[in-house]
Structure 1
Amino acid sequence: MNAPSPQSSLPAAAACAQPLVRFENVHKTYDERNWVVNDLNLEIAQGEFLSLLGPSGSGKTTTLMMLAGFDSPDRGQIFMDGHDISRLPAYKRDMGVVFQSYALFPHMSVEQNVAFPLNLRKVSAAERKQRVGEALELAQLSGFASRRPAQLSGGQQQRVALARALVYRPRMLLMDEPLGALDKALRERMQLELKSIHRQLGITFVYVTHDQDEAMTMSDRVAVFHNGKIEQIDRPEAIYNRPSSRFVANFLGETNLLDGVITGVGSTSASILLKDDNSIRDVPCHLATLAVGDPASLAIRPENVRLANPGEPALQARLVDSIFHGAHCNLRLTLPSGTPLTMKLNPGSLNRPLPVPGDTVALALPREHSLLLP
């Protein structure tokens, strides 16, 4: 099974239409030696919520800054509606931007902060009042118009920055880690509110984050960045269930990677002999180019590992530790080869005693939930 191309993973309505934005062979360097963004090709559909996900230094923020117009490509082009905007100034791009720092004016009221972009655009007083009121209502800040930023909580300040970015009705909203300074509970609530606002407005959102849960929660598509390139781009559930590489499998959620050697190859699946001499046949694989004798890894999420039934082919593992998480237990195990393995177990679903550290446990790795990676 070949990894999906960026075009094939666009929302169905957008796949046949011209993309709103297109990056074409874009490169960016700051030291003339290393590419921060390396030959980037990316299409962004009208109205989608696209998250750029990756570790620090992977190129995601530089990509956003080039899209916003705060930086320019050293090679390649960026198109919007088919027009080259690679050198177009930021103020001519019709894009709202929200940063992690919010960048609010402390001496201005909430209403004045939100109205600031309209003042720059010389919008009439009557229209300005109407738009500011609409933006404050959208951001659930109608009762805070006269307050100063210092009188607001972190979540409220974030909403002010959002209202200010939306008040002049941009075609796109770009966000760079806007929830990074918030505590976990507030961050999760704001994720749902951002998703709701996106649904109401229908404009294109491009969102930079290093938080995988954030990207999975809000996005129509996720682009996973690594070393200046997009390693994989697709719907969140497709990336989670069918990662295209070891990096994506490790970065997006927790994954068990069991090394071995390919012993047989089909058109969309292959067989692998693991280090522990366990052979698993007909496992789905991304690359049809895998050959017998090639090293490979079997990837399986902890929630898909289960206890084997009597008489079923199984891997033997020793339980090292069990960590209670309420709805499930995390079992940390070790295979005879020393390879670590994690599984999530629902104690309520067991019709047998819960294993304890030191026990030998028989494990089943369902083929339909496994994937072979090079």
Structure 2
Amino acid sequence: MPVPEAPSTVPSSPALVRFEGVYKTYDERNWVVDNLDLDIRQGEFLSLLGPSGSGKTTTLMMLAGFDAPERGRILMDGNDISTLPAYKRDMGVVFQSYALFPHMSVAENVAFPLNLRKVPTAESKARVKEALALARLEGFEDRNPSQLSGGQQQRVALARALVYRPRMLLMDEPLGALDKALREHMQLELKAIHKQLGITFVYVTHDQDEAMTMSDRVAVFNEGKIAQIDCPQAIYNRPSTRFVANFLGETNMLEGVVLSVSGGQAQIRLSEDSSIHQAGCTDPELAAGSMAALAIRPENLRLAAPGEAAVQACVIDSVFHGAHCKLRLNMAKGSELSMTYNPGNLGRAAPMPGEMLSLALPGSQAMILR
């Protein structure tokens, strides 16, 4: 596998960590991480989100010092740490497996990193107490991991990673083994701990809701590259590619031909019914005459007002989800749409299978993607 030329030197920036042109392969044929440039800001909660094999965990392992890049550099405070051993990087790490020592008590597990650093006993006890309080584990000091629930074990692993006050906390799907209710509860707790400590959190997950709930920014990985990085609201509402739009929640994609592109907006004529619609566009390579898709979330579809530009679709079925209902619809040429609505706000009786609906596609809530 040919190795690319080394990247040019980039001037230092206020970013705490910077990946510069980083590559990683395990089989000498395929890049698991492919020319990665990434700045991690001081004090932010950054989630690395993507499907299995997208490169997010490998990126975290290189940041932690458990793996090294084939090419490129990882900088911290402007210093190259690409080959620095993990124990010298001042980073706490929490894994999905927790990796607790079964023969040690909770307090002994938490104190372990301090013992390695030969922290004096009195200071070690004070720090352990502080870390256990932060993780809400007071009173559990003498228990063994086998006596704890999954959520409690996760808290012990978190306390152990934070006890020596690292500059960064790295987490590799730490909530993956928990049930849904506990996982959602721990998401809020992690967010609160991040706010309290003010240190940088880097969090790997394949769960879109998890990333959206906790993060200041989300980096969406695909095939070793970052497809988009931004705040959760921008990633969700203004995806830059079809992959991002489809990976983060459900998205309707209506194919068509681009008529014009100007000022961050584009016009598209839909193949389905030749109707013309305008929506946002951030792709610099999108041009008039090219094929593209109008992407719109199910919750942004609505019933069209009289005289408003609309598409026609037939209701296939309706599914009740408690707080909302979801319609599945077919357009004349077979394109399928999904629409989410709140029954109390619909302003009419619930649509029934076989009914034809006129649907508006609000351009302010849609994107045109290649």
**1:152 matched to 2:148:** yes
CA-CA distance at 1:17 after TM superposition: 5.8
Residues 278 and 315 in structure 1, CA contact (< 8 A), matched pair in contact too:
no
Does 1:366 find its partner at 2:362? yes
Unpaired runs of at least 5, structure 2: 1-11
2:139 corresponds in structure 1 to: 143
Any conservation in 2 of the 1:166–1:173 contact (CA below 8 Å)? yes
- Conserved 8 A contact 2:13-2:78: no
What CA distance in whole angstroms lies between the structure 1 residues aligned with 2:346 and 2:26? 56
Tell me which of 260, 263, 266 is aligned to 1:267. 263
Which residue of structure 2 aligns with residue 295 of structure 1? 291
Which amino acid is the alignment partner of residue 73 of structure 1?
P
Match of 1:356 among 348, 352, 359: 352
Give TM-score, length-normalised by structure 1: 0.94
Match of 1:23 in 2: 19
What's the CA shift string for 1:15-69, capped at 9, x where partnerless? x961100000000000000000000000001100000000000000000000000
Greater CA deviation, 359-368 or 33-42? 359-368
1:214-246 Cα offsets, whole Å, 9 max, x none, are: 000000000000000000000000110100000
Residue 328 of structure 1, CA deviation: 1.0
**Offset of 1:209 from its aligned partner?**
0.2
Q: Look up the equivalent residue of 2:81 and give its one-letter code.
A: I
State the shift of 1:98 in Å.
0.3
Q: 1:288: how far off?
A: 4.2
Task: Report what 1:247 is aligned to.
Answer: 243
Distance in 1 of aligned mates of 2:229 and 2:19: 14
Identity rate, percent: 72
1:305-344 equivalence runs, <5 A: 305-344=301-340
Normalising by the residue count of structure 2, what TM-score does the alignment of the two structures yield? Answer: 0.95
Amino acid at match of 1:20: L
Q: Which amino acid aligns with 1:321?
A: D
Q: Could you say what secondary structure the match of 2:154 adopts?
A: helix
The residue that corresponds to 1:162 in the other structure is 158
For 1:99-132, what per-residue CA distance to the aligned partner results, in whole angstroms no more than 9, with x for missing partners? 0000000111000000000111111110000000
Out of 70, 84, 87, the position equivalent to 2:83 is 87
Misfit runs of 4+, over 3 Å: none
Structure 1 distance, partners of 2:17, 2:282, is 28
Equivalent in the alignment of 1:10:
none
User: Aligned residue pairs: how many?
Assistant: 359
1:192 is aligned, of 184, 188, 193, to 188
Q: CA RMSD in A?
A: 1.1
Q: Shift of residue 337 of structure 1?
A: 1.6
Alignment of 1:107-118 (within 5 A): 107-118=103-114
Q: Select which of 212, 215, 220 maps to 1:219.
A: 215
Partner amino acid for 1:114?
V
| Cα pair distance change 1:27/1:17, threshold 3 Å | closer
Q: Shift in Å at residue 327 of structure 1?
A: 1.5
The superposition leaves residues 319-344 of structure 1 with CA deviations (integer Å, 9 ceiling, x where unpaired) of: 11100111110001111121111011
* Distance in 2 between residues matched to 1:246 and 1:282, nearest whole Å: 17
- The correspondence of residues 35-184 of structure 1 with structure 2, limited to 5 A, is 35-184=31-180
